[in-house]
Structure 1
Amino acid sequence: MSIEVGVKLKGKVSGITNFGAFIDLGGGKTGLVHISEVSDGFVKDINEVLKVGEEVTVLVTTVGNDGKVGLSIRKAVDKPKEERREFPKKEFQRPNTKKPFVKNQNTNSSNMGGKQDFDSLMSGFLKDSDDRLSTLRRSTEGKRGGRGGRRN
């Protein structure tokens, strides 16, 4: 039996660990379902969801060169479209501010085929990055006794 990524198979739970369950796929093949792939909800104890000997349907997610097979139970379950969770699209928010991120409107990308726009954005990013790094270095070096720190 050939095991390929994307194939749904039936198998029996052959072993349970604290990080997942081993599934016997038949033909001497065994795969692992990680605890995060058992259910859509949070699973604290996998023994509450699966039992050894239980028959399950799994989806093959990975097949390694070394023969390891990654499986998923939650992806093998067909859900009606209305049950699938759709997340609303949100505007990107800058950290620690209430203002939404707005692309710089002042740059003119029509010059040089957009190159000016990228160059100005990159130079602004590098300047901001350097300022943040120097502020961070000043505040941490004094606390841990690094180069140039305060000495009493």
Structure 2
Amino acid sequence: MELLENEKKLFELVNELSITYFHKPFMHEVYFNNRLRTTGGRYIPSKKVIELNPKYIVEMEKEEMIGIIKHELCHYHLHIEGKGYKHGDRDFRQLLKETGSPRFCQPLPSAKKAYKHVYECTACKLLYKRVKRVNTQRYRCGRCGGKLIKKQQPV
């Protein structure tokens, strides 16, 4: 998908999706927030602002970004109407179904962390893949309580 360079084009896209799926115009601000890391977007109720992660436009397909915008519009419209707009609310889950919006966004390909450490339980042979080191003197296997040993990773 071509990069939406300015806020005006982004607002037009959000407003078009709002009218198409919710039959109501989007009347507030929407912009890109480069500081978002683990989420595709967020709705800030106190400011009535939608912030979107620009990395999703660059790294993912157009459908993923549209899904994120629809999800945030669910928060927005329910909040404006005074209904339950939070993830756990029945109104929110119902509107997600009605509009075909995703509950969660896919993780970014660039954000996937490769594990650096592999530990094996000496008793049940369960493997633990971790990004950070584990103190094997302090921690045991969660399944059987056996001792953990560090395994050499193939290069």
TM-score normalised according to structure 2 size: 0.24
- Please identify which structure carries the higher helix content: 2
Q: Which entry has the higher C-alpha Rg, 1 or 2?
A: 1
- Please identify which structure carries the higher strand content: 1
TM-score normalised according to structure 1 size: 0.24
